Amino acid sequence: MGEKSLQKKKYILEKAREVFMEKGYKNVTMKDIVDACEISRGGLYLYFPGTRELFLEVLKAEQEDSGSEFEQKIGKDFGPADILALFLKEQKRELLTKKGTLQKACYEFFFEENDYSRENLLKKQFDAAVMVIQRLIEEGVEIGEFCCEEPRRAASNIMYVLEGLKVAANTRGVTEAAVDREIMYMMQNLVAEE
C-alpha cells in the first residue's frame, strides 16, 4: 500500500472511531462512515469490506495507541508499585470519562460476536493485562513493595474488578468515590506492611 493509501486508511480509521464513539457499534452503517469521511462508498469499500472489519482495525489502532501512551508515562525510576498505581489511575480516568471512548461499542461488538476463543481481541487484551500486572506484583514482592502469595490470582482479580467497574460505568454509572474505594481496596491488599 502506497503512502497516500496509508494516509487515506488512517483518515478513515480516525473518522470511523469518532462515529463508533458517538453511535456505538450496532447502530453504525457503512453509510455513516462514508458520510463522516466525505468519500464515495466505493472508496470506503476499497479499504474495508464492512463495519466489522473496520471496527476491528479501529480497536487494534486504539490498543497500539494506548499501549505506547502508557509506556511514555513510565519513567525509568518507577518501581512496580508506581507503575501499578499509574495503570490504575489511567483505568480510573477511562472509567469516569463519559464521552470519547469506545467502551459501549466494544461491548456491543463482542456481545454480538459471541466469540469466546483465544482469538477474541477483548480476551487477548484482558489476558495480556493480567500477565503484566502479575509480573509487576512478582517484581514488587521481590523488592519488598508488595506482599502477595498468589500474584496470578491477584492480577486476575484486579482485572475482573476493573472489568466489572467498566460494565457498571456503562450501564448504571459509577462515582469517583466508588472507583477510589475499589482501587484502594485492591492496593491495600498488596502493599507490604512496614
Q: Give tens-digit pLDDT for 53-98.
A: 999 999 988 877 765 556 665 656 788 999 999 999 999 998 898 7
CA–CA gap between residue 115 and residue 108 (Å, rounded): 12
Q: Using pLDDT thresholds of 50, 70 and 90, give the confidence band for residue 171.
A: confident
CATH code 3.30.230.30 for 1-54 = no
pTM over 0.95? The answer is: no
Place of cell 500500500: 1
Which three cell numbers, joined as nine digits, stand for 180?
477510589
144-178 in b/e form (b: 16+ CB < 10 A) is: ebbebeebeebbbebbeebeebbeebbeeebeeee
Lowest mean pLDDT across 15-24, 110-119, 145-154 = 110-119
Give helix 51-73 / helix 80-96 axis angle, nearest 10°.
140
- Is residue 112 within 8 Å of 26, Cβ to Cβ? yes
Give me the pLDDT at residue 67, please. Answer: 59
- Asked if 1-54 and 74-194 have one fold, the answer is no
Count the residues in the chain.
194
Give me the pLDDT at residue 101, please. Answer: 83
- Is residue 37 within 8 Å of 15, Cβ to Cβ? yes
User: Does the structure show a pLDDT above 90 at 23?
Assistant: yes
With H, G, I as helix, E, B as strand and everything else as coil, classify residue 191: strand
92 vs 27, 85, 111, 181, CA distance in Å?
27, 10, 24, 11
CATH code 2.60.40.10 for 74-194 = no
112 by Cβ neighbours in 10 Å (0-12 / 13-18 / 19+) ranks as exposed
Lowest mean pLDDT across 9-13, 70-74, 157-161, 180-184 = 70-74
131 vs 34, 167, 180, CA distance in Å?
39, 22, 23
The secondary structure of 46-112 as a DSSP string is: TT-SSHHHHHHHHHHHHHHHHHHHHHHH--TT--HHHHHHHHHHHHHHHHH--SS--HHHHHHHHHH
Lowest mean pLDDT across 67-81, 110-124, 168-182 = 67-81
Q: Using pLDDT thresholds of 50, 70 and 90, give the confidence band for residue 154.
A: very high
List the end-to-end C-alpha distance of the chain, in Å, as a whole number.
57
Give me the pLDDT at residue 36, please. Answer: 97
What are the residue boundaries of the structural domains of the chain, listed by start? Answer: 1-54, 74-194
